[in-house]
Amino acid sequence: MLNSPHFSTKERILGAAEELFARNGFAGASLRELTSTAKVNLAAVNYHFGSKDNLVNEVFRRRLDELSAQRLDALKTVQTRPDATLEDILAAFIHPALLLSLDKSGGSTFVRVLARAYAEHNERLRKYLSENYGYVLKEFAAAFGAQLPHLDKEELYWRIDIIAGALTYAMADFGVIKRRAAMSEKIHRERAAEHLIRFAAAGLRAE
């Protein structure tokens, strides 16, 4: 797919970077491997991205911009309903992320990259993600907080952080419960979402 003539040079580089970051981590993926996989020269990487750090940022941006928009659209829809529940807000946060893992154009690979971002102590990357996508978490935190007046801000963010980690785990399908052969990937992910929403709601409501 990376060598398809329909893919621009920039897209080929991004696709190759996504695969290498998922497999080898950010520090472990070399520019030599990247240029070989994408079948481009180093000048092309420098032209489109300027540096490896900028390339890492762009790998996240091309997926997270859309994911963030989908989450906020879903949240806005939920908030128009006077009977919206905590579970509805959780669904707006969780469902778009699990759908990303079903995306056949590299979504599942990106999920592994996202898991790497959680696992590796890359402060520069964490700063980039916080500065560019932290607003999404703040919107959801406000929505959760309105439903959970018994939680102070620090406790609320602790619980949201734990939910985000559990979601990443579910997206990457690391769990001991594997999809049965007779079950489609879509149904498997829907089941995962149902369990995660129920579990997260109970954790958020706990005194």
Q: What pLDDT is stored for residue 181 in this prediction?
A: 65
Q: Any residues with CB less than 8 A from the CB of 84 and at least 6 apart, and which?
A: 78
Q: What angle do CA 85, 86, 90 make, to 5 degrees?
A: 120
pLDDT tens, position by position, 36-52 = 999 999 999 999 999 99
User: Which residues contact residue 186 at a Cβ distance below 8 angstroms, ignoring those fewer than 6 apart?
Assistant: 102
Residue 194 predicted with pLDDT over 60: yes
57 or 100: which leads in pLDDT: 57
pTM of the model: 0.84
> Which segment of 14-28, 84-98, 137-151, 177-191 scores lowest on mean pLDDT?
177-191
Q: Are 74 and 92 in contact (CB under 8 A)?
A: yes
| Helix and strand counts by DSSP (H, E) for the chain | 9, 0
* pLDDT tens per residue, range 142-193: 999 999 999 999 999 999 999 998 898 888 765 545 666 666 777 878 888 9
What pLDDT does 6 receive? 42
